[in-house]
């Protein structure tokens, strides 16, 4: 092979899994958060060594595996929207998984919470947010994604940009999900990995993904310590405690209701579609059409044909793609269907919860 390919990506991902199982897992079991920090450093070392080895095999310069450059504000905003859309999709998946496998998901969450809260907040933020944003991104949006993109560049022509984007997103997300070695977190981490892979692919830079990866993990750390501070807050009055207990009881009842669970998931998916579509549109760079100083009728005709060709592209086989207005209509109808069905399901299960909120004065 004379170019980085998805085979190289799979080999690096497999090596990472072997290291995580046989080297990093024992270290984490014995050293806790210190072991997690060492794990991140091992991942970073694997990324650098893989870049050097694959670079020698294929002729790709090692720095080509770690693209870091400034990104235009339009694409930065698009990256944020893509992440928000992915977060809503992750939330929908997590909600459904918590209902289907409550004991396994709760046990994993308690274990992670215990590890993260075993050190002071700033140190926890460094190990669980800053280091993964650098080390894991170097491996997944760096070496692995460059190899995946190498195959996409050769498998899909310039006219098949959607197919290339789907391939990169799915492959990058699946390998990132596999990296976490948890079947109950595979879908959620794969969604995050897919979103970050798409962002890196479209911007040509790891920087937005590193920032968003940090934000994602930092929010989890902050939520954990905020929850801990709430538990140690001053005691409630008897009336407040009674109302709070009623709220928790209704929340547990809703969590056990399939209508509420899957209705909420559908609503979250509706928001995911909105933000993902907005982010995808912002990712496209603005096209500037230029005319000469003294344009002729031929220049206007040429410009009109160029604009029409971009709005109504033709596939390699001569057929036309669906017009943009039809895609937009399909997206609007999809979102409306998700919101309508989701709202109908949750409304039928949320009456008691609303009453409990009223008891707290909310």
Q: Looking at the structure, tell me whether residues 263 and 203 fall in a common domain.
A: no
Average pLDDT over residues 72-84: 96
What is the pLDDT, as a whole number, of residue 115? Answer: 85
Q: Is the pLDDT confidence value at 139 over 70?
A: yes
Q: Looking at the structure, tell me whether residues 241 and 347 fall in a common domain.
A: yes
Provide the token pair at 170: 């799915």
Supply the pTM of this predicted model: 0.86
How far apart CA 126 and CA 34 sit, in angstroms, is: 11
How far apart CA 141 and CA 205 sit, in angstroms, is: 9
Buried b (16+ CB within 10 A) or exposed e, 1-33: eeebbbebbbbbbeebeebbeeebeebbeeeeb
Q: Is the pLDDT confidence value at 357 over 80?
A: no
What is the pLDDT, as a whole number, of residue 111? Answer: 84
Tell me the CA distances in angstroms from 68 to 78, 141, 208, 235, 346, one per residue in order. Answer: 17, 11, 9, 50, 44
What is the pLDDT, as a whole number, of residue 356? Answer: 45
Q: In this prediction, what percent of the chain has a pLDDT beyond 70?
A: 83
Is residue 225 within 8 Å of residue 117, measured between CB atoms?
yes
What is the pLDDT, as a whole number, of residue 297? Answer: 78
What is the pLDDT, as a whole number, of residue 294? Answer: 81
Q: Looking at the structure, tell me whether residues 149 and 285 fall in a common domain.
A: no
Q: Looking at the structure, tell me whether residues 264 and 326 fall in a common domain.
A: yes
Range with the lowest mean pLDDT among 58-67, 117-126, 266-275, 311-320? 311-320
SS3 312: coil
Q: Looking at the structure, tell me whether residues 62 and 201 fall in a common domain.
A: yes
Q: Looking at the structure, tell me whether residues 289 and 208 fall in a common domain.
A: no
Q: Looking at the structure, tell me whether residues 246 and 278 fall in a common domain.
A: yes
pLDDT digits (tens, 9 = 90+) for 79-92: 999 999 999 999 99
How far apart CA 94 and CA 123 sit, in angstroms, is: 27
Is residue 72 within 8 Å of residue 283, measured between CB atoms?
no
Closest CA to 184 of 245, 97, 295, 250: 97
Show the domain range for 300.
Answer: 237-362
Q: Looking at the structure, tell me whether residues 188 and 288 fall in a common domain.
A: no
Is residue 262 within 8 Å of residue 100, measured between CB atoms?
no
Q: Looking at the structure, tell me whether residues 201 and 333 fall in a common domain.
A: no
Range with the lowest mean pLDDT among 9-18, 134-143, 228-237? 228-237
- Between 154 and 234, whose confidence is greater? 154
Where a domain ends, among 199, 233, 267? 233
Where a domain ends, among 179, 213, 233? 233
Domains: count for the chain: 2
Residue with tokens 């399909």, as numbered in its chain: 330
Range with the lowest mean pLDDT among 176-180, 248-252, 344-348? 248-252
* CA atoms 198, 46, 50, 61: torsion sign: positive
Closest CA to 347 of 339, 357, 336: 339
Range with the lowest mean pLDDT among 258-267, 296-305, 336-345? 296-305
Where a domain ends, among 233, 263, 293? 233
How far apart CA 75 and CA 84 sit, in angstroms, is: 14
Q: Looking at the structure, tell me whether residues 198 and 327 fall in a common domain.
A: no
Average pLDDT over residues 159-173: 89
What is the pLDDT, as a whole number, of residue 40? Answer: 97
Closest CA to 80 of 235, 174, 208: 208
pLDDT digits (tens, 9 = 90+) for 170-208: 999 999 999 999 998 999 999 999 999 999 999 999 999
Q: Looking at the structure, tell me whether residues 101 and 228 fall in a common domain.
A: yes
What is the pLDDT, as a whole number, of residue 284? Answer: 82
pLDDT category of residue 210 using cuts at 50, 70 and 90: very high
Q: Is the pLDDT confidence value at 360 over 60?
A: no
Q: Is the pLDDT confidence value at 168 over 80?
A: yes
- Between 201 and 297, whose confidence is greater? 201
Q: Looking at the structure, tell me whether residues 132 and 202 fall in a common domain.
A: yes
Q: What does the DSSP assignment read for 249-306?
A: HHHHHHHT-HHHHHHHHHHHHHHHHHHHHHHHHHHSPPP-----SS--HHHHHHHHHH
Average pLDDT, the chain: 86
Residue with tokens 């720095």, as numbered in its chain: 63
What is the pLDDT, as a whole number, of residue 158? Answer: 67
């Amino acid at each position: 092979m004379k170019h980085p390919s998805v085979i190289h990506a799979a080999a690096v991902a497999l090596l990472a899994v072997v290291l995580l199982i046989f080297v990093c897992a024992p270290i984490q079991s014995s050293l806790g958060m210190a072991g997690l920090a060492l794990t991140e450093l091992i991942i970073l070392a694997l990324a650098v060594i893989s870049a050097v080895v694959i670079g020698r095999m294929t002729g790709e310069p090692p720095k080509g595996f770690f693209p870091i450059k400034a990104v235009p504000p339009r694409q930065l905003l698009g990256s944020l929207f893509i992440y928000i859309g992915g977060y809503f999709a992750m939330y929908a998946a997590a909600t459904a998984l918590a209902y289907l496998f409550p004991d396994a998901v709760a046990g994993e969450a308690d274990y992670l919470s215990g590890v993260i809260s075993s050190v002071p907040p700033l140190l926890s933020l460094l190990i669980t947010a800053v280091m993964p944003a650098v080390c894991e991104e170097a491996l997944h949006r760096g070496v692995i994604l460059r190899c995946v993109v190498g195959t996409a560049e050769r498998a899909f022509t310039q006219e098949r940009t959607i197919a290339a984007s789907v391939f990169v997103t799915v492959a990058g997300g699946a390998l990132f999900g596999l990296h976490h070695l948890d079947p109950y977190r595979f879908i959620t981490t794969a969604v995050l990995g897919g979103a970050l892979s798409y962002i890196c692919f479209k911007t040509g830079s790891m920087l937005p993904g590193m920032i968003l990866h940090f934000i994602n993990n930092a929010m989890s750390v902050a939520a954990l310590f905020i929850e801990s501070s709430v538990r140690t807050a001053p005691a409630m009055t008897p009336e407040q405690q009674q109302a709070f207990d009623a709220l928790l009881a209704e929340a547990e009842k809703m969590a056990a209701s399939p209508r509420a669970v899957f209705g909420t998931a559908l609503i979250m998916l509706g928001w995911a579609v909105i933000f993902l579509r907005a982010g995808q549109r912002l990712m496209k760079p603005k096209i500037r059409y230029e005319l000469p100083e003294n344009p002729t009728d031929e220049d206007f005709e040429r410009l009109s044909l160029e604009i029409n060709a971009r709005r109504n592209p033709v596939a390699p086989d001569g057929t036309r793609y669906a017009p943009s207005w039809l895609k937009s209509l399909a997206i609007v109808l999809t979102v409306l269907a998700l919101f309508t069905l989701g709202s109908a399901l949750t409304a039928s299960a949320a009456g008691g919860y609303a009453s409990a909120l009223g008891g707290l004065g909310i």
